Amino acid sequence: MSRYVMVADLNRCVGCQTCTAACKHTNDTAPGVQWRKVLDMESGEYPEVRRTFVPVGCMHCAEPPCMHVCPSTATRQRPDGIVTIDYDLCIGCGYCMVACPYQARFKVMHRSQAYREGRMKIEREREHEERRAVAQKCTFCVDRIDAGLAKGLTPGVDPEATPACANACIADALIFGDIEDETSLVAILLKNNAHFRMHEELGTQPGFYYLGGDE
Amino acid sequence: MSLEPPLQTYLDWRAAGNFIAGGTGTGLLLVSAAAALLGVGGSLPAWLALLSVAAGLSLVWLEIGRPLRFLHVWFNPHTSWMTREAMLAPPLFAAGIPALIFDWPPLLGVAALIGMAFLYCQGRILYAAKGVPSWRSPRTVGLIVTTGLCEGVALFVVLAALRSPGFAPLTAGVALLLALLGVRAWVWRNYLEKLDAPRATLAVLARFNACFLLLGHALAGAFALLALLWPAQTRVAGILAGLCALLAGWALKFVLVTRAAHLQGYALDRSPARSAGSAGPGVRPGWD
């Protein structure tokens, strides 16, 4: 059984936000909504200060608190570990948004409109009415994965079957793949490098790993 | 861009209103049912209790993004405490309304027990929200249940004092309120002392703490004692004690849901090793 995960190499990430732009372009997210973003974090004290760029988003947890609290079963987990939202079931209660410890979920109540005079063509054409007033988040570009698998492609290897953020990364800092496949790049990276996950103490078992710290 | 944990804004005053009205309503229903079973209560407090629970649920309905899909809230009883809370509402009213119409106290008792389960669900709703440290404390459930009971008894005391001089349950209600005030103060202190939350959350709760304890407990308790020890002023002191305890409970839930509800925020266990160096310290912005 596949378990898709994302690996972010913190030594490679340069904080260019290309993944953020690629995600927005691919998924038509509304202004202010970033399913994928890169944090600029400082740690330590002068003169031992470090700056780290940290890609974040939905962690596609193995134990997703958002799914457990969802009253409508709109949030589900596929057998391959990807956590999805059924926009037609979601009631937009916002409970999942306070259950997620990664600030990965968004709710947009109003249609995008940059100018008072009216909506632009791009706003009309790329509007996702089904996402209005319900929860939304990163899907690991699940439609690309499914379409790619249907063509016999391998997610994480073939760009056509790989999330847009990982495809777009200029530094190969974002790597996507099947952790259950020992020959996949993510499995090899995690086997050979020290890694950690964010907020592991909360028991969510995130499917998003960070490389870059020794043990 | 600040990486401090932001205040959650997804559940606003309407959600707080559900915790306020639901807690007070179910607490009031319990004490009203107890009074009815003892043959000393009227039906007004129980009607108000049901109305309060209904008002709370209506507020939540106003908050959800897709109100016409409200029936979907019942789809996940396996794991969602919000579903479980919603599922308890129909039997609560199905038992409570006929019990009051046909004046059948045992059925009102059943409604009150369902109300307690409803109140417990409210506590679990907050506890299950892992993204908000001040809610996911294991002591949150006890706090929500205790203050709900306290508010219910407080409102019952106010209603009893307004009803008529010498109304029998008033003195008992005041004594019960005094005891519950002590329990709530203890539960609150316990919650606050062991809370692990972002600095901003702790600062909000620290500011609220003094006011909550002084007005909601010390002053309310003093009025309750006065009501018990000075029979001539039982009604006035009872009303003041009840109002202080009631408003403090409402303030607690409003603050907890809308003001002291900062999200978990981001954190790094350690910063990456650079070149041939070793990993650096981690960082958790907004936390001590």
Both tokens of A80, joined, read 């391959």
Nearest to A95 among B82, B261, B270 (CB): B82
pLDDT per residue as tens digits for the range B236-273: 999 999 999 999 999 999 999 999 999 999 999 888 87
> How many distinct structural domains can be found in chain A?
1
Beta-carbon contacts of residue A150 (< 8 Å; ≥ 6 apart): none
Residue A121 has pLDDT above 90, yes or no: no
Domains, in order of start, for chain B:
13-265 (1.20.1630.10)
Q: Kindly state the percentage of chain B with pLDDT values over 70.
A: 98
Residues in A closer than 8 angstroms to B272, CB to CB, are: 10-11, 50, 52, 211-213
Beta-carbon contacts of residue A118 (< 8 Å; ≥ 6 apart): none
Residues in B closer than 8 angstroms to A42, CB to CB, are: 283
pLDDT of residue B165: 65
Report the alpha-carbon distance of residue B153 to residue B172 in Å, rounded: 10
Report the alpha-carbon distance of residue B160 to residue B175 in Å, rounded: 13
> What part of A 89-118 touches B (C-beta under 8 Å)?
89-95, 97-103, 107, 109
Q: Is B275 on the interface with A (CB under 8 A)?
A: no
Report the alpha-carbon distance of residue B8 to residue B18 in Å, rounded: 17
Best of A91, A208, A209 to disrupt the B interface (most B CBs within 10 Å) is: A91
pLDDT of residue A208: 98
Q: In 10 A of CB B37, how many CB atoms?
A: 14
Q: Where are the alpha helices (DSSP H) in chain A?
A: 18-27, 65-69, 95-99, 121-125, 142-150, 164-168, 185-192
Residue B218 carries which DSSP code? I
Q: Is B13 on the interface with A (CB under 8 A)?
A: no
Most confident by average pLDDT, A42-56, A154-168, B261-275: A154-168
> What part of A 114-143 touches B (C-beta under 8 Å)?
132-134
CATH number at residue A157: 3.30.70.20
Contact A133 B65 (CB under 8 A): yes
The whole domain housing A112 covers 4-211
pLDDT category, B28, cuts 50, 70, 90? very high
